[in-house]
């Protein structure tokens, strides 16, 4: 066998020439495609809004609270009731004729909000409707971010399968050469077993990625009420844009929810204090009465203004007011804490996004370099100028570069998703409940 030249020297000499003459074709497609509609990320998010059962239930929950608030407000307003009766009175024991009669009455009741208590209750009802709408937005923000993450992970797994299949093809080719040399007793059994082990490892890795890919697609399908989904083939074609405004302005629905809870607590505190305030109402009642075979025939009209002045409630109003005051303070601290956490998260995800983009460029260069190095190493191995161990080392470097490159692409997108979730930017897609506030 010819004398071997050190591998590092050969690569440094030949790799510069290989850059000019080597090219690489597109990645092969998956051997088997999953049945389902191919959706872009934007299309998937729109379908999630349309088909997700949790969000559909949330829409009905908002409407339910809306109607409940209307009923609560209407129940404390002007009422007009019609009362009617037809009755008989048999007095045979006294020798009188039976008495039959009818009565019709109209009752008008109008509360007079001299303390503002009814106005406070109206405001509480409106805020509760908005709170339910914000709860829907919180669910939408969480579900949309989960859908985006599953989509990105499924594309990543799909690309990882394709990348490992390319590596597998290279390792199988190397194993064929190694097997032929082993049969000719030109290399030892250890080199043969190493080459075979590398092939088996890549095959196992492909199976693992395939399992992950199926799990991610099943997760997406569950968010879409069981509808099958197919993603775009290349992770590099998926771009989750994050604007500078998203980095600086936060409108997370969780903070909106805490703020609405504070509003309810403030209004409830005021309502508790007004329970000790006087109340005034106007009532008018008209009752025409007729009795057959009797000398009773009259119309009754009554009306008046009724004043109620609570004097002693055992401290109920004072304690309720104090309780709401403590709740307000609790929510103040909760709001400040969560806002600080979200601001910290946005900053951290922004840094992660920047770092991951740098890693993508770094590993993309490394991936191209290792592809060229492997081509050179295979030629040198065929010529007997380097050992099998040298070739396997380059193959390991190529595999690591491929995995690291795709991981960096995945991390870029995951950081962008987390950033958009923390800032509430996914809610730009949600407009289905905007009219519910004004219905």
Q: What is the pTM of this model?
A: 0.78
Task: Give me the pLDDT at residue 139, please.
Answer: 93
13: pLDDT strictly greater than 50: no
- Comparing C-alpha atoms, which of 276, 347, 346, 263 is closest to residue 310? 276
Least confident of 78-82, 173-177, 324-328, 340-344: 78-82
Contacts of 135 (CB under 8 A, 6+ apart): 58, 61, 257
156: pLDDT strictly greater than 90: yes
Residue 6: count other Cβ atoms within 10 Å of its Cβ: 11
Average pLDDT of the segment spanning 112-118: 82
Are residues 370 and 401 in contact, defined by beta-carbon separation less than 8 angstroms?
yes
- How many Cα atoms within 13 Å fall on the side-chain side of residue 265? 17
295: pLDDT strictly greater than 80: no
Average pLDDT of the segment spanning 122-141: 92
Residue of higher predicted confidence among 339 and 86: 339
Lookup: tokens for 292:
């057959």
Task: Give me the pLDDT at residue 100, please.
Answer: 65
CATH class in words for 7-18+32-75+128-277+322-438: mainly alpha
Task: Give me the pLDDT at residue 348, please.
Answer: 92
d(CA 346, CA 3): 59
Residue 437: count other Cβ atoms within 10 Å of its Cβ: 12
Contacts of 256 (CB under 8 A, 6+ apart): 134, 137
Are residues 278 and 307 in contact, defined by beta-carbon separation less than 8 angstroms?
yes
Task: Give me the pLDDT at residue 216, please.
Answer: 94
Task: Give me the pLDDT at residue 278, please.
Answer: 83
Kindly report the backbone phi and psi dihedral angles of residue 102, in degrees, each rounded to the nearest multiple of 5, phi listed first. Answer: -140, 155
Q: pLDDT tens digits, residue range 55-68?
A: 999 999 999 998 98
Helix (H, G, I), strand (E, B) or coil at 301: strand
291: pLDDT strictly greater than 80: no
CB burial readout 47-64, b (16+ within 10 A) else e: bbbeebeebeebeeebee
Task: Give me the pLDDT at residue 117, please.
Answer: 83
Lookup: tokens for 158:
């799909």
Task: Using the structure block, give the residue that is written with the tokens 């008008």.
Answer: 108
Task: Give me the pLDDT at residue 313, please.
Answer: 76
Lookup: tokens for 143:
């579900």
Task: Give me the pLDDT at residue 299, please.
Answer: 74
Task: Give me the pLDDT at residue 410, please.
Answer: 94
Indicate the DSSP class of residue 22.
-
Per cent of the chain over pLDDT 70 is 82
Indicate the DSSP class of residue 32.
S
Task: Give me the pLDDT at residue 296, please.
Answer: 61
- Comparing C-alpha atoms, which of 414, 36, 34, 420 is closest to residue 224? 36
Least confident of 146-155, 176-185, 334-343: 176-185
Average pLDDT of the segment spanning 71-84: 78
Contacts of 83 (CB under 8 A, 6+ apart): 103, 104, 105, 106, 107, 287
pLDDT band at 413 (very low <50, low <70, confident <90, very high): very high
Least confident of 137-151, 166-180, 280-294: 280-294
Least confident of 13-27, 135-149, 236-250, 387-401: 13-27
Task: Give me the pLDDT at residue 247, please.
Answer: 61
| Average pLDDT of the residues of the chain | 81
d(CA 44, CA 361): 28
Are residues 416 and 242 in contact, defined by beta-carbon separation less than 8 angstroms?
yes
293: pLDDT strictly greater than 70: no
pLDDT band at 173 (very low <50, low <70, confident <90, very high): confident
pLDDT band at 366 (very low <50, low <70, confident <90, very high): very high
Task: Give me the pLDDT at residue 17, please.
Answer: 37
Helix (H, G, I), strand (E, B) or coil at 423: helix
Task: Give me the pLDDT at residue 318, please.
Answer: 87
d(CA 414, CA 160): 16
């Amino acid at each position: 066998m010819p004398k071997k030249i050190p591998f590092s020297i050969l690569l440094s000499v030949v790799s510069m020439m290989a850059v000019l003459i080597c090219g690489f074709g597109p990645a092969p497609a998956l051997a088997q495609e999953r049945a389902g509609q191919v959706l872009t990320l934007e299309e998937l998010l729109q379908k999630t809004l349309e088909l997700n059962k949790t969000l559909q239930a949330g829409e009905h929950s908002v409407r339910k609270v809306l109607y409940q608030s209307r009923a609560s407000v209407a129940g404390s307003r002007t009422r007009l009731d019609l009362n009617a009766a037809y009755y008989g009175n048999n007095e045979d024991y006294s020798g009188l004729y039976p008495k039959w009669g009818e009565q019709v009455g109209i009752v008008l009741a109008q509360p007079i909000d001299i303390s503002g208590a009814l106005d406070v209750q109206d405001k509480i009802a409106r805020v509760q409707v908005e709170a339910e709408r914000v709860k829907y937005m919180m669910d939408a923000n969480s579900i949309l971010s989960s859908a985006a993450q599953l989509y990105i992970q499924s594309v990543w797994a799909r690309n990882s399968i394709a990348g490992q299949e390319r590596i597998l093809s290279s390792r199988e080719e190397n194993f064929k050469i190694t097997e032929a040399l082993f049969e000719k007793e030109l290399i030892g059994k250890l080199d043969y077993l190493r080459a075979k082990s590398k092939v088996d490892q890549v095959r196992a890795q492909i199976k693992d990625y395939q399992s992950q890919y199926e799990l991610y697609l099943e997760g997406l399908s569950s968010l879409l009420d069981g509808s099958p989904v197919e993603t775009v083939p290349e992770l590099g074609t998926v771009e989750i844009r994050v604007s500078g405004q998203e980095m600086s302005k936060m409108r997370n629905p969780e903070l909106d929810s805490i703020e609405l809870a504070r509003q309810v607590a403030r209004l409830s505190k005021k309502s508790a204090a007004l329970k000790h305030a006087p109340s005034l109402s106007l009532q008018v009642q008209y009752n025409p009465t007729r009795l057959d075979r009797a000398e009773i025939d009259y119309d009754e009209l009554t009306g008046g203004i009724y004043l109620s002045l609570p004097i002693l409630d055992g401290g109920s109003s004072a304690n309720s007011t104090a309780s709401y005051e403590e709740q307000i303070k609790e929510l103040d601290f909760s709001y400040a804490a969560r806002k600080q956490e979200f601001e910290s998260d946005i900053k951290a995800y922004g840094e992660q996004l920047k770092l991951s983009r740098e890693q993508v460029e770094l590993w993309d260069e490394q991936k191209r370099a290792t592809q060229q190095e492997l081509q050179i190493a295979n030629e040198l191995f065929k010529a007997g100028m380097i050992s099998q161990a040298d070739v396997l080392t380059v193959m390991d470097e190529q595999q690591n570069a491929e995995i690291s490159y795709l991981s960096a692409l995945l991390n870029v997108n995951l950081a962008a998703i987390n950033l958009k979730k923390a800032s509430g930017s996914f809610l730009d897609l949600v407009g289905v409940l905007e009219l519910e506030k004004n219905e």
